[in-house]
C-alpha cells in the first residue's frame, strides 16, 4: 500500500493554486496511491479546515485531513485546530514557517495541543534548524514530521545533514521525503535513523506533465533507491500509518 503523506488542496505558491478532491483522487487512482493526507494553506485556519473536512467527507476512505495552524487576527487558530481534532477527527496538524512565526510565544500552544491529542505536526521549517531543535527539545512528546528533510528542493547537503542529525538526537522527529532533490540522502537517513522514521510524500499536486505522471515519478524515485523492500514499505505506508494510528 502507498500513502502520500503530503498533499495540498491549496498551495502556498504565488498563484495560490487549488485542487479539487476529485482531481486528487483521480491522480491517486492512476498512480496506485491508496490514501493521501490533504490540507490547505494560504488561507485562514477555519477555511483551510473546512476544505480538508469537505475533502474527507467526499472520500472518507481515501483522503486524510490535517488541520492548518495559522494565527488570524479575527479568529483563534488554537480553538479551530482543537475543534478539528476533537470534534471532526482530524489526525494531524500542518504548520508552515513561511506563513507562521515559530517563536514560542506564537506557536507553542499548538504543540501542547498536539501532544495532548497524540497527533503529529507536519512542519515546513524552511531550513531553520534552530526552530526544529527548540521545538523537538521543548516538546519531546509531540510527534514532529519534518517536511522535505528540512527545506523544499534543498541542494545544500550540509543543511540536510543537520536535520538528519537532529532526528538522530530526538526520537520525536520523523523526516518527510517530499521535495528531496538529493536522493542519496534518503538511504543515508535510513542508515542513521531507520526507515521507520521516514515517510513518503509528494507535496503535490503538480500538473506537469500530468498530476498522475508527477505522482508516478515521485513513487519511482523511491522504488529505485538502493534500500530494502521493508524500507520501502516503511516509507510508503508503515511509518505514517503508525503516526496516524491507521492500523
pLDDT tens sequence across 140-164: 999 999 999 999 999 999 999 999 9
Over residues 112-134, the pLDDT tens digits come to: 999 999 999 999 999 999 999 99
Cα–Cα–Cα angle for 98, 94, 188, nearest 5°? Answer: 85
For domain 3-243, give the CATH superfamily.
Metal-dependent hydrolases (3.20.20.140)
**Which pLDDT score, from 0 to 100, does residue 14 have?**
78
175 upstream amide cis, omega within 30 of 0:
no
Cell of 199: 515517510
Strand 121-124: give its sheet, edge to edge: 3-10, 35-40, 63-68, 92-96, 121-124, 144-146, 173-176, 198-199
pLDDT band at 72 (very low <50, low <70, confident <90, very high): confident
**Are 82 and 90 in contact, with CB atoms under 8 Å apart?**
no
The CA distances from residue 98 to 42, 113, 205, in Å, are 10, 21, 19
pTM for the predicted model, two decimal places: 0.97
The pLDDT assigned to 71 comes to 86
Residue pair 122/95 in contact (Cβ under 8 Å)? The answer is yes
Does the pLDDT at position 12 exceed 90?
A: no
* Confidence at residue 159, expressed as pLDDT on a 0 to 100 scale: 98
What is the spatial distance between Cα 11 and Cα 229, in angstroms, rounded to a whole number?
32
CA distance 123 to 48: 16
User: H or E stretch including 165?
Assistant: helix 157-169
Amino acid at each position: 500500500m502507498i500513502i502520500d503523506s503530503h498533499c495540498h488542496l491549496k498551495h502556498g505558491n504565488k498563484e495560490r493554486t487549488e485542487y479539487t478532491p476529485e482531481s486528487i483522487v483521480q491522480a491517486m487512482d492512476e498512480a496506485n496511491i491508496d490514501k493521501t493526507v490533504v490540507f490547505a494553506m494560504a488561507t485562514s485556519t477555519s477555511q483551510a479546515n473546512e476544505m480538508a473536512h469537505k475533502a474527507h467527507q467526499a472520500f472518507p476512505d481515501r483522503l486524510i485531513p490535517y488541520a492548518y495552524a495559522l494565527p488570524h487576527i479575527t479568529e483563534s487558530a488554537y480553538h479551530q485546530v482543537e475543534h478539528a481534532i476533537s470534534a471532526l477527527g482530524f489526525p494531524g496538524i500542518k504548520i508552515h514557517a513561511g506563513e507562521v512565526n515559530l517563536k514560542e510565544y506564537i506557536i507553542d500552544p499548538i504543540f501542547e495541543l498536539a501532544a495532548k491529542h497524540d497527533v503529529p505536526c507536519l512542519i515546513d521549517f524552511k531550513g531553520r534548524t534552530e526552530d526544529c531543535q527548540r521545538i523537538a527539545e521543548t516538546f519531546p512528546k509531540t510527534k514532529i514530521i519534518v517536511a522535505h528533510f528540512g527545506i523544499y528542493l534543498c541542494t545544500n547537503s550540509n543543511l540536510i545533514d543537520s536535520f538528519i542529525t537532529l532526528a538522530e538526537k530526538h526520537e520525536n522527529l520523523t523526516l518527510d521525503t517530499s521535495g528531496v532533490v538529493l536522493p542519496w540522502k534518503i538511504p543515508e537517513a535510513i542508515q542513521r535513523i531507520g526507515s521507520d522514521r521516514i515517510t513518503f510524500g509528494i507535496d503535490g499536486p503538480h500538473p506537469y506533465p500530468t498530476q498522475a505522471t508527477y505522482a508516478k515519478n515521485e513513487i519511482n524515485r523511491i522504488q529505485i533507491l538502493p534500500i530494502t523492500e521493508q524500507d520501502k514499505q516503511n516509507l510508503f505506508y508503515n511509518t505514517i500509518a503508525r503516526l496516524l494510528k491507521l492500523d
